[in-house]
Amino acid sequence: MKVGMSTASFFPNEIMQGIDNIASMGIDTCEVFFNTYSEYRPEFASQLKKRADENGIKIHSVHALTTQFEPQLFSPHEIQYKDALNMFLRVADAAKILDAKFYTFHGQAFYKRNAKGNMQRTAERLSALTEKLKDRDLKLSLENVHWATFNKPSLLDEMKKYDELTDLFFTLDIKQAVQSCFEPSDYIKAMGDKISTVHLCDYVQKEANIETCLPGRGEVDFLELKKEIDKSGSSPAYIIEVYKGDYEDIEELKNSTIFLEDKISD
């Protein structure tokens, strides 16, 4: 197993540049983070696939910007839902062109403190979305995010009252787990053997603040993390997803990748 990387690690650079940067570090697996609507177009996806193939990079998953349409997929307003669904399927079509296997998904965005979604509607819509991806050979992977749908491990048990969601996969984000005031292990237990992707980042906790940093510069025990995930029965892709402000140059990012390869590679 080799560690992959998300093109989001280079935002605000363009995706094509991100692919080139990833290839320059000898990484052969990536998650494509779509930044805007024009990048969902088949023409763009085809160009991106060509660039990835030229660089020997396999695209494991795609990820769209949550706020562009994902919250409306859970709206009680039927036209909002249908318009958002059309956009969701455009991303899915782009993912199929890229031969991606997973769609990393945030879902709702809770802009107000202590806001809660309608649990029955959440379960029903997630079930519908997973079903619509099947003919594209694509699986929905719900990511734990402190301000979005999966902001607590108990969500899955709550949704099971309405739907088992047996076709739903999960993306584990370490920093988001801590920002949700839970341990990553709490989410690993909840996700079980359905973890498709792990977003790798490190952090330093300073009182109530979580400061992100490159893997190897913070508090995460990546060796222990890998052991816990192995015990869960999952065999996910490990994808570095950091912020541009977490490093100064590509060499720093490459050294962090080497650090992770030593810790979590089989």
Name the residue with higher pLDDT: 244 or 265.
244
pLDDT at 111: 76
pLDDT at 3: 94
Side chain identity, residue 18: G
Q: Please determine, for residue 1, whether its predicted confidence score (pLDDT) is greater than 70.
A: no
pLDDT at 117: 78
What are the angstrom distances between the C-alpha of 214 and each of 94, 141, 248, 257? 30, 24, 11, 9
Q: Would you kindly state where each structural domain of the chain is located, as residue ranges?
A: 4-264
Confidence band (pLDDT; 50, 70, 90) for 114? low
- pLDDT tens digit string along 11-23? 999 999 999 999 9
- pLDDT tens digit string along 55-111? 999 999 999 999 999 999 999 999 999 999 999 999 999 999 999 999 999 999 987
- Cα–Cα distance for residue pair 43/31, rounded to 1 Å: 19
* Triad 68, 13, 45: Cα angle to 5°: 60
- Cα–Cα distance for residue pair 52/187, rounded to 1 Å: 32
Q: Please determine, for residue 115, whether its predicted confidence score (pLDDT) is greater than 80.
A: no
- pLDDT tens digit string along 87-99? 999 999 999 999 9
pLDDT at 206: 83
pLDDT at 38: 96
The CATH class of 4-264 is: alpha beta
Q: Please determine, for residue 112, whether its predicted confidence score (pLDDT) is greater than 90.
A: no
- Cα–Cα distance for residue pair 159/265, rounded to 1 Å: 34
Confidence band (pLDDT; 50, 70, 90) for 113? low
Backbone angles phi, psi at 126, to 5 degrees: -60, -40
pLDDT at 210: 87
Q: Please determine, for residue 170, whether its predicted confidence score (pLDDT) is greater than 80.
A: yes
> Mean pLDDT for the chain?
94
Q: Please determine, for residue 251, whether its predicted confidence score (pLDDT) is greater than 70.
A: yes
